[in-house]
C-alpha cells in the first residue's frame, strides 16, 4: 500500500493460560473492529480500518500523524485546553448516543489531528444502552484526568460540558451515575 498504515497486533501474554488468552485476543479484536466502524458511522473521528485478522489478532488501520492528547493537554493554555476538552466530550456523547461504550477512555487513547479528536483502542468496549455503562465509561476518563493531568482537574468539567451539549438523552442522569460510581469506590 502506498500510504502509511499501522498494524495493531494483540500480543499473546505468557502469564495467561491459552484458553483465556486466545479467547480474549479474538473477542477483543472482533469487538474493537466492529465498534470502530460503528463509532465512525456515528460521526466520531476514527482511523479507517483496512483489514481485520481474527486468528492472529491484527487490525490494519490508517496511521494518524497527530499527537496524543496525553502529551499535549498539560502544555496548552487554559482556553485551548477547555476547547479541546469540550470537543472530547462531544465525541463521547456521539458514540454514547449510539450506545457504543469505549471501555478505556484515557487521554492516551485519543489523537489530535486536523483540529479533530480521533479515538482508538475500543478493545474493552461493548454495545450497551444502560446508564451504568455510560457512567463507568466516563468515570474511567475522570480517573485518568485526575491521575495524569491532576493540575488541570477542571478538564473533566469541560468534557462534561461538551458531553451535555451533544448527548440526546438527559446527560444529568449519566452524571448522577458517575457520582454513584465514585461513592462506590473504596473509602469514599
Identify the residue among 26, 108, 154, 157 touching other proteins (CB under 8 A).
108
Q: Where are the alpha helices (DSSP H) in 42-154?
A: 69-72, 78-97, 131-148
Window 112 to 131, contacts with other proteins (CB under 8 A): 124
> Which residue is it, cell 461504550?
101
Residue closer to other proteins by CB (options 24, 37) is 24
Candidate ranges 10-18, 90-98, 159-167, 170-178; the one touching other proteins (CB under 8 A): 10-18
Q: Which of 4, 21, 104, 121 is catalytic?
A: 104
Q: What's the min distance (Å) between Cβ of 85 and other proteins?
A: 18
b vs e for 111-140, b when ≥16 Cβ sit within 10 Å of the residue's Cβ? bbeeeebbbbbbbbbeebeebebbbbbbbb
Q: How many residues are given for the chain?
A: 188
Least distance in angstroms from the C-beta of 186 to other proteins: 6
Binding to other proteins in span 130-159, by CB under 8 A? 136, 140, 143-144, 146-148, 150-151
Residue (3 or 15) nearer to other proteins, CB: 15
Grid coordinates belonging to 181: 460510581
Backbone angles phi, psi at 99, to 5 degrees: 60, 25
How far apart are alpha carbons 166 and 162 in whole angstroms? 6
In the shown chain, the binding pattern of residues 68 to 107 toward other proteins, with x for contact by CB under 8 A and - for none, equals -----------------------------------xxxx-
- 186 exposed, middle or buried (CB, 10 Å; 0-12, 13-18, 19+)? exposed
Residue 51 annotated in active site:
no
Q: How far is the CB of 12 from other proteins (least distance, A)?
A: 9
- Name the grid cell of 56: 492472529
**Residue 51, strand partner residues:** 60
Interface ranges with other proteins (CB under 8 A)? 13-17, 19-20, 24, 103-106, 108, 124, 136, 140, 143-144, 146-148, 150-151, 181, 184-188
Point out the residues that are catalytic. 104
Amino acid at each position: 500500500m502506498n500510504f502509511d498504515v499501522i498494524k495493531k497486533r494483540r500480543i499473546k501474554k505468557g502469564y495467561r493460560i491459552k484458553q483465556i488468552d486466545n479467547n480474549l485476543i479474538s473477542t477483543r479484536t472482533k469487538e474493537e473492529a466492529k465498534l470502530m466502524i460503528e463509532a465512525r458511522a456515528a460521526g466520531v473521528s476514527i482511523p479507517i480500518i483496512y483489514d481485520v485478522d481474527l486468528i492472529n489478532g491484527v487490525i490494519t488501520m490508517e496511521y494518524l500523524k497527530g499527537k496524543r492528547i496525553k502529551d499535549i493537554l498539560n502544555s496548552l493554555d487554559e482556553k485551548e485546553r477547555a476547547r479541546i476538552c469540550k470537543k472530547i466530550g462531544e465525541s463521547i456523547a456521539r458514540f454514547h448516543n449510539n450506545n457504543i461504550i469505549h471501555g478505556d477512555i484515557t487521554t492516551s487513547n485519543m489523537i489530535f489531528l486536523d483540529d479533530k479528536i480521533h479515538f482508538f483502542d475500543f478493545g474493552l468496549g461493548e454495545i450497551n444502552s444502560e446508564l451504568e455503562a455510560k457512567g463507568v465509561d466516563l468515570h474511567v476518563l475522570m480517573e485518568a484526568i485526575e491521575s495524569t493531568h491532576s493540575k488541570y482537574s477542571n478538564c473533566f468539567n469541560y468534557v462534561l460540558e461538551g458531553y451535555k451539549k451533544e448527548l440526546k438523552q438527559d446527560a444529568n442522569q449519566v452524571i448522577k451515575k458517575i457520582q454513584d460510581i465514585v461513592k462506590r469506590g473504596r473509602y469514599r
